[in-house]
Amino acid sequence: MIDRWRLHGHAIVSDDHCIAAADGTVPPGLRNDADWARFQAALDAAVVTVLGRRGHEANPNVKGRGRIVLSSSAEGIERRADTWWWNPSDAPVEDALARAAPAGGIVAVPGGRRVFDFVLRLGFDEFHLVRAAGVAVPGGIPVFSAVADGLSPEVVLARHGLSPAPTEVLDAAERVSLVVWRRRA
């Protein structure tokens, strides 16, 4: 059905599994140059990026990449001046991807939480989980809603059919590391 596209999630999380503070801002501890370079390269390699409206507003599409913004304000799938907008309640994911990236390819999914929850149900092909060790964001926004039930992101990914590759250190001094989780065959 959506075989033409491969869904790759990307998140950098704190020790308490958060992607941002409660107000949606990203604390300095979750910003890292090595991770940012890796993340930008991943976006360049993708045919389209799928993200939530708040993330879109916080990170305008200055490079003019293909982008789909999820929002309840969209009517189905809309082409607005800045990019594609999509309301999943009105139109299926296949239609949104077919409009924005008809040839298929890698779809980068940088969240936030509700977008990650949504794509978990569809099925990630890969999830690039970066950890910033020693960083805490008390009361912040967790990467997946299931974190609130006491589950780590690793448990959530394993329960959704993904397996971890070996840990890759991105920045030893800042203790930032990456694990790519891939769908089990």
Who's near 15: CB < 8 A, 6+ residues apart?
Answer: 131, 132, 133, 134, 135, 136
Using rule CB under 6 A, residue 71 touches ligand NAP: yes
Is 134 in a helix, a strand, or coil? coil
**8 A C-beta contact, residue 105 and residue 89:** no
Of the candidates 153, 119, 2, which has an alpha carbon nearest to the alpha carbon of residue 51?
119
Using rule CB under 6 A, residue 135 touches ligand NAP: no
Using rule CB under 6 A, residue 55 touches ligand NAP: yes
Please give the sequence-ordered ranges of beta strands (E in DSSP) within the chain, or none if there are none.
Answer: 5-13, 18-20, 48-52, 67-70, 77-79, 84-86, 105-109, 126-132, 141-142, 162-164, 168-171, 176-183
57 Rama sector, left if φ>0, alpha if ψ -120 to 50, beta otherwise: alpha
Using rule CB under 6 A, residue 179 touches ligand NAP: no
Task: Decide whether 145 or 183 has the Cβ nearer to ligand NAP.
Answer: 145
Total residues at the site for ligand NAP (CB under 6 A)? 27
The position carrying tokens 């890969």 is: 126
Using rule CB under 6 A, residue 72 touches ligand NAP: yes
Listed ranges 64-72, 90-98, 148-156, 169-177: which one lies at the site for ligand NAP (CB under 6 A) = 64-72
Q: Which position among 12, 46, 97, 119 is part of the footprint of ligand NAP (CB under 6 A)?
A: 12
The position carrying tokens 């020790």 is: 15
Q: How many whole angstroms from its chain centre is CA 66?
A: 15
Contact positions with ligand NAP (CB under 6 A) in 23-52: 24, 26, 30, 51-52
Using rule CB under 6 A, residue 53 touches ligand NAP: yes
Using rule CB under 6 A, residue 109 touches ligand NAP: no
Q: Which position among 105, 118, 122, 177 is part of the footprint of ligand NAP (CB under 6 A)?
A: 118
Listed ranges 53-61, 91-99, 148-156, 166-174: which one lies at the site for ligand NAP (CB under 6 A) = 53-61
Site for ligand NAP, rule CB under 6 A: 11-12, 19-20, 24, 26, 30, 51-55, 58, 70-73, 87-88, 110-115, 118, 141
